[in-house]
Amino acid sequence: MKTLIIENIDPKKIGELMTVSQKFCEIPDIIALGDGPVPGKFGKVWQTPKTVAANLISSVVNIIQEEKYEIILMSVSTLGTGLAGPLSATLSAPVVTEVTAIHPDRVVERPIYGGKAMIKQKLESTPAILTIRRKYFEPATLDGTTASTPLSLDADKVRLVAEKNEQADGIPLEDAAVIVSGGRGVGDKDSFALLQAMADQLNGAVGASRGAVDEGWASPTRQIGQTGKIVAPDVYFAVGISGASQHLAGIANSKCVVAINKDAEANIFNRARFGLVCDYKKILPLLTEAVKEKR
């Protein structure tokens, strides 16, 4: 099926979408946003400096119609989410958001009810627009680069004045292999130092539940869950977190969850591979010390 990727120039994001595209076609085309070479081997490549979704819609619609693309792939991101709706409305095309798996015969899978259930949907008509959740697909290796032609934007409705990256203190949550996350059960802001000490030993990052963010103990940029970051670390420590569905929605793709909670009935234990029923203040410093000794 003829496939078009629309993505900012970022090897990881483009690599993940390349992996997804291989379920539909051999070599996809791409509209790449940003400066510098476009990594990977593509058929056709259009390139434009970074801009907001509103400025891209009519140009992208023209390309999709002229080239008769059947599948349009974007990441779940400000760009992808901003484009998916208008493209769907303008092209009268179906859109499936937050896709986490592609099955044979044009069947795609996505979470529903805040991650409590998964749904499989068949793409019955084309073009079909898919936004793909980050970290669910292993990024393809992008060999070489492909020459691009400039994408002319026929309207500059919104001017991008400045783009400011979020202040990341330490490893970004999305890239961390280990996350030590704290909830309301941590008790106060200062005690997050115990979680930071553990994270430092494991080259990990500190995350938080909304409970902890609402208390003002952690920055909203550290929130994990339905209305926070979606993470997929190798190991996720949930410290004093009850395991509400909205929190679990953010850690669904974590490989190993270790829960520390003093309530044996806490829902987090239903998601955890390892569970410690105790006051985290007693066990976490011991775990940190044990990890330190092993290093």
Kindly list the residues in this chain that would bind ligand FAD in the complex (CB under 6 A): 183-185, 209-212, 223, 225-228, 240-242, 244, 246-247, 250, 260-263, 266, 279-281
Residues whose CB is less than 8 angstroms from the CB of residue 181 and which lie 6 or more positions away in sequence, other chains included:
195, 206, 207, 208, 209, 224, 236, 237, 238, 239, 241
Decide whether 113 or 160 has the Cβ nearer to ligand FAD.
113
Amino acid at 147: A
Query: Shortest Cβ distance from residue 86 to ligand FAD (Å)?
Result: 25
* List of residues 6+ apart from 166 with CB closer than 8 A: 221
**Least separation, in Å, of the C-beta of 224 and ligand FAD?**
6
Cβ at position 159, least distance to ligand FAD in Å:
32
Helix (H) / strand (E) element for 110: namely strand 107-112
Query: Least distance in Å: CB of 173 to ligand FAD?
Result: 12
Q: Which residue, 49 or 285, is less far from ligand FAD as judged by CB?
A: 285
Minimum distance from residue 11 beta carbon to ligand FAD (Å): 28
Nearer to ligand FAD, 28 or 183 (CB): 183
Contact 74, 13 (CB under 8 A): no
Classify 277 as helix, strand or coil: strand
CA distance 210 to 219: 10
Q: Is the dihedral of CA 148, 52, 161, 134 positive or negative?
A: negative
Of 110 and 247, nearer to ligand FAD (C-beta) is 247
Nearer to ligand FAD, 100 or 261 (CB): 261
